[in-house]
Amino acid sequence: MDDRSDSRKRVAIIGAGAAGMSCASTLAKHPQNYEVTLFDTAPHTGGQAISIPLDDSRHGASWLNEGVQGGSPIFRHTFNFFRRYGYEPVAVKLQVSFGKGPDSFWTNLFPSPLVDQFSDEIQKFGRVLKWIKRLMPFLGILPVKTMLRLFRFSTAFGNKMVLPLLALFLGTGNQTPNVPSVLLERLFNDKNMRLWDYDPDTLLPNQSTMYTFPNLSDFYRDWSRDLSSRGVHLRLKTRPELLKRDKQGITLRPHPATNDANDNPGGTDLLCEEFDEMVICCPADEAKRLLGKHATWREKYVLGGVRFFNDITITHSDSEYFDSIFETRYKSHLCAKGNSQSREDQISFSQKTPRTRKDGWEGFAPMYYIHSYESDPDKIEMGFDCTNYQHQFREALGENAISPESDRHVYQTIFLNDEQKHLWTWKGIDDSKIIDKRWWHQFGHRWQHYLRVVPGMMFINGKNRTLYAGAWTMVNMHEIACISGIAAAYRLGAEYEAFDDFAEDFFAKYLLVSHGVRYKRSANAM
C-alpha cells in the first residue's frame, strides 16, 4: 500500500536522457515539495549522450563521445550542468568539408571552384535570407525545397551547398528538403542559433566556435549518483506501463517484459505505484505507446505528427574508406584563385601542415563532412573525423603537434534513413577496423513538424496531469532537451534558478512557445 500521508507531490519522469535528468535535477532542489521517480529502459542515464571506450595505444585517446559530440555557445544550460560536476566543455574552431571532387567540394576554410561557379547564386542567397526574415509567417514555414524553387535557385546549388549546410548543423539528414526555411535563416541571423557569418564571396567565411563535450558517460554517471543522494529514485532497466490516468492521479507498474526483480534492487515495490504528476521525456512515438488508450485526441494528434527515422552510426578507423567518400586533405586543384587578400589569407592558412592548437587546428583539418549520392543528389551521408574534432585527442598530442597518420584517426560515418539503405556505402568499410555500430531513432524536422507539433505542445502540456519534454518538442539539440526538462519542472512549481541573461531569455522563449506560459522573472528574483 502507498503511504499517502506524505504531502509531497509525487512525480514520475519517464526517460532519463538530458530532458529527464534536467527535470529531475530541478525538482530535486525542492525535496520538501517533490518525491521524484525516474524511469528508463536503458541500464544507464543519458539517453543518446553516451561515450564508448577506445584503445588509447592505437587511437590516441581512451574514450569517444558517440551519440552527442558537442554544441554551440548557446548551450548555456548544458554547460551549467557540466560545471556543477566539475566537467568543462572545450572550445574548437570548426572546419567542414562538403562534397567530393572539384565539381562538388567546398569548405569554410578556403575558396573552391564550386564557390566560384555559384558566385551569383551565393549573392542572391544573402538577399533571400533577408526576405525570409521579412516575410517570416509565409516564407519561414515553406519547405527549403519549395523556397529554392520559388526563388529560382539551380538544383545543383541547392543540392551541393544549401542542403548539406543545413543537414550538418541541425541533424536533419535526408529530411532536409522538407525542413522549414526559417531554420536556414536562423543559422545565419538568429542570436539563439546563429553559427555563421554570411559572406557574399564564399558563403561561409569563418571558423565558427563550437564546443566539444567532456566524457558524457562519466558525467551522466556522476549526475545520476548525485540525484540518488538527493532522494531521486532511479528505476533503470524498467519499462513503465500506464494503468490509470485521471483526476485522482497516475498509476504505473513495470511492463510485464521488464526483468525488474532481478535487475532493479527493490523493484517489486514498483508494482502499481501511484503518482500525482507524470513528465514524459521519451520520444513522441514512445510517449504515444505509453499513453495507449489513455491518450486524448489532442495528444494523439500532436504526438502523431512527429516523424522518426532510423539511422546508423559506424565508428571505425578505416582511413582508406573515409578518404574515398570525403575530401580530407588540402589539394591544390580543390582551391580557387586567391583574387583578394582575404582569399589569400585563407589559402595560406589551409596549405599548412595541420598542427594542434588549443582551440583546434592550424591548417586544413576538417571535422564535419557531408557528401551527396550521385544517383540521388538530395540524399546524403555524414561523417566526423573525431580525432580532429574531439578535444581529448588533441590534448593527448599536445599543443603544436603534427596530426597523426590518417590510419590512426577515429572516424564516424552516419547512414541516414534505413528506408534508403540501398544508397549506403557502408559495405566499403573494412570490418576489422569497425569499432562500434549503433542505431539511432531520430525525428525529422519536417515543415509539418512546425505547423502541427511545435505549436500544438502548449495544448497538451500540463493537461491530464502530464507534461512533455525532449528535443523533439522543438529542435534536435541537447540544449533544447535540457531546457524542456527544466520547463516541465517549472510548470510543476519548481524554481528556475537564473544564472545567465542569455540562458534565461532562451528559457523564457521556450516556455512561451511549448507551454503557452510567460516566465515570471520577478517571482524568481533573489
Residue 233 CB neighbour total at 10 angstroms: 18
- Burial class of residue 160 in the structure, from the number of CB atoms within 10 Å of its CB (0-12 exposed, 13-18 middle, 19+ buried): buried
- The string of pLDDT tens digits covering residues 487-511 is 999 999 999 999 999 999 999 999 9
Q: What is the pLDDT of residues 220-242, one digit of tens each?
A: 999 999 999 999 999 999 999 99
For residue 1, the model assigns a pLDDT of 41
How far apart, in whole angstroms, are the C-alpha atoms of residue 450 and residue 165?
A: 20
Q: What's the rounded Cα separation, in Å, for the pair 217 and 301?
A: 35
Collapse the DSSP code of 97 into the 3-class scheme (helix H, G, I; strand E, B; otherwise coil) and give the result.
strand
- What does the mean pLDDT of the chain come to? 92
Cα dihedral value 207, 208, 212, 213, nearest 10: 180
The SS3 of residue 493 is coil
pLDDT at 189: 84
pLDDT 10s digits, 303-337: 999 999 999 999 999 999 999 999 999 999 999 99
**Separation CA 96–CA 126 (nearest Å):** 20
Check residue 149 and give its pLDDT. Answer: 95
Spatial distance between the Cα atoms of 335 and 250, rounded to a whole number of angstroms? 62
Q: Is 501 helix (H, G, I), strand (E, B) or coil?
A: helix
- Confidence at residue 5, expressed as pLDDT on a 0 to 100 scale: 60
Strand partners, 38: 13, 234
Q: Which amino acid is at 391?
A: H
Determine the angle formed by the axes of helices 478-491 and 76-84, rounding to 10 degrees.
Answer: 80
Predicted local confidence at residue 443, as pLDDT: 87
Architecture of the domain spanning 9-49+216-307+446-515: 3-Layer(bba) Sandwich (3.50)
pLDDT of residue 444: 85
pLDDT average per 10 residues of sequence, the chain (526 residues)? 71 98 98 97 95 95 93 94 97 95 94 96 95 88 93 95 83 80 86 78 89 97 98 96 95 75 45 94 97 97 94 96 96 93 94 95 96 89 95 96 94 93 95 96 88 96 97 93 98 96 95 96 53
Domain coordinates in residue numbering, the chain: 9-49+216-307+446-515, 54-213+309-444
C-alpha cell at 524: 524568481
Q: What is the pLDDT of residue 196?
A: 79
Q: What is the pLDDT of residue 446?
A: 87
**What region does 414 belong to: left with phi over 0, alpha with psi -120 to 50, or beta?**
beta
What pLDDT, on the 0 to 100 scale, is given for residue 265? 45
Q: What is the pLDDT of residue 258?
A: 60
> pLDDT value at position 267?
44
Tell me the percentage of the chain whose pLDDT exceeds 70: 94
What is the per-residue pLDDT for 106?
A: 95
In eight-state DSSP terms, residue 494 is P
